[in-house]
Amino acid sequence: MGILAVLALPLLLLGISGIIYLYQSVRWLLSKSAVQNKVVVITDAISGLGKECSRVFHTGGARLVLCGRTWEKLEALYDALISVTDPSMTYAPKLILLDISDINCIRDVAKEILNCYGCVDILINNASMKVKGAVQSISLELDKKIMDANYFGPITLTKAILPNMISRRTGQIVLINSIQGKIGIPFRAAYAASKHAAVGFFDCLRAEMEEFDISVSTVNPTFICSYHRQPAPGNWEASIWKFFFRKVAYGVHPVDVAEEVLRTVSRKKREVLMANPIPRAAVYIRTFFPELFFAIVASEYLQRKYLLWRHGTKLLLLLQVPLLM
Ligand SMILES: NC(=O)c1ccc[n+]([C@@H]2O[C@H](COP(=O)([O-])OP(=O)(O)OC[C@H]3O[C@@H](n4cnc5c(N)ncnc54)[C@H](OP(=O)(O)O)[C@@H]3O)[C@@H](O)[C@H]2O)c1
C-alpha cells in the first residue's frame, strides 16, 4: 500500500504525459494528411522559414510550387527535398522565379503558377523584405520598395490567384506577417508600416471570402532565430537551451514556425501570434493602454540612443533582439 501510494503520482504523471504525447502525435499526423495532394504555393521558399515550410509540406505529400528570386537556390532546395523523401509518397516540386517586389511581372508569374497544376489550394505569402534604420536614414525609394515587396507584391499575387479559388469555392491563403504588423518599434518604420498594411488587407479579405469557403490566415511570429545562432547539436548546452532558454534567448526556431503554419492550414486558424510573454503583453498594452505603450517605446528608444552613442551599434543590435521576440 505504502509503495503504491508513493508510485501513484509519478505513474499518474507518466500516464498523462503519454496521453498528451499520443494526442499531439495524432494531431500532427492529421495536420500532415490535411495537405496531402494539395497544391501549395510558397513564395520565397528559399528563405529560412520558406525552406522549413517547403520541407514540412513536401513530407506531408503536398504538390508544391516553390517560388524564389534566385534560381540556383531554388534548385538547391529542390535537390535537398527530393534527396530525403520517398518519391512514391511525395511529389517533385515545381520551381518558379518570382521577385515579389517586381509588381509588373506578378500577374504573369501567377499564370505560370496556375499552369503548373491548373489550380492552387493553398497560397503561403512568405516573401518579404526587411530593412532597419532611423526614419531619416531610409530613402523614400527604399520605403516604396519595402511597400512593394511586403504589401503590393503579396496582394497582387493573391488577387491573381483568387478567381481560381472563388470559382472552385475552396482555398486557403496564409500571410506570414510579423508582430511588427501589430506594434511599431523604433528603427523599423518602413517594415512595420508594410506589415501593418498587409494585415489590414488580409483581415478585410478574410471577411469577404467567408461566403466562398476560402480561409485567410495570418501568422505573426516575433523573432525567428537563425540556425547559426544556436548551440551545435550534441553540445551539452543544447538540451538545456532547447528546454529552457532557446525561445527566450534566440526567438522562435523556423522549424517551430513551419509546423505552426501547417497546423494553421489544417485547422483553418484565422490568426496566430507566436510570441513570448513580454511581446505578447506589448500587443495587449498597445490595444488597451496606448499611452503607456508609446511611453515605454519612447523611453526604450532614448535609452538605446544613449547606449549606441556610448557603446556602438553592436550593443544596439543586441538590445533589439529581446524586444522583437
Ligand atoms: N526573421 C525574423 O525574425 C522574422 C520575424 C517575423 C516575421 N518574419 C517573416 O518571416 C518571413 C520569412 O522571413 P525569413 O526570416 O525566413 O527570411 P530570411 O531567411 O531572412 O531570408 C530573406 C529572404 O528574402 C528574400 N527576398 C528579399 N527580397 C526579395 C524579393 N524582392 N522577392 C523575393 N524574395 C526576396 C531573399 O531571397 P534571396 O536569397 O534570393 O535574396 C531571402 O530568401 C518573412 O515574411 C518575414 O517578414 C521573419
pLDDT lower than 70: segments of the chain: 1, 28-30, 32, 226-250, 301, 303-325
CA distance 18 to 234: 26
Residue 218 lies in a domain: yes
The cell numbers describing 181, all together, are 504588423
Residue 45 lies in a domain: yes
Q: Provide the H-helix boundaries in 61-133.
A: 71-83, 103-117
Residue 54 lies in a domain: yes
Phi, psi of 32, rounded to the nearest 5 degrees: -65, -45
Res 228: pLDDT: 47
Residue 196 lies in a domain: yes
Distance of CA 192 to the CA centre of its chain: 15
Res 307: pLDDT: 62
Residue 308 lies in a domain: no
Residue 286 lies in a domain: no
Res 242: pLDDT: 54
Q: How far apart are the first and last CA of the chain?
A: 50
CA distance 109 to 121: 17
Domain that holds residue 158: 32-276
CATH number, residue 99: 3.40.50.720
Count of the separate structural domains present in the chain: 1
Res 321: pLDDT: 45
Res 223: pLDDT: 87
Res 305: pLDDT: 66
CA distance 258 to 57: 9
Measured from CB, residues less than 6 Å from any atom of ligand 1 are: 44, 46-49, 68-70, 73, 99-101, 126-129, 149, 176, 178, 221, 223-224
Q: Output the CA 290–ligand 1 centroid distance in Å.
A: 30
Residue 311 lies in a domain: no
Residue 18 lies in a domain: no
Res 13: pLDDT: 86
Res 262: pLDDT: 97
Res 315: pLDDT: 44
Res 314: pLDDT: 47
- Catalytic residue list: 191
Pocket test for ligand 1, best of 41, 42, 43, 47 (most atoms within 8 A of CB): 47
pLDDT tens digits, one per residue of 87-96: 888 999 999 9
Q: Which residue is closest in CA terms to ligand 1's atom 11?
A: 126
Q: Which residue is closest in CA terms to ligand 1's atom 21?
A: 47
For the sheet containing 122-125, what is the strand order?
94-97, 63-68, 39-42, 122-125, 171-176, 214-221, 271-274
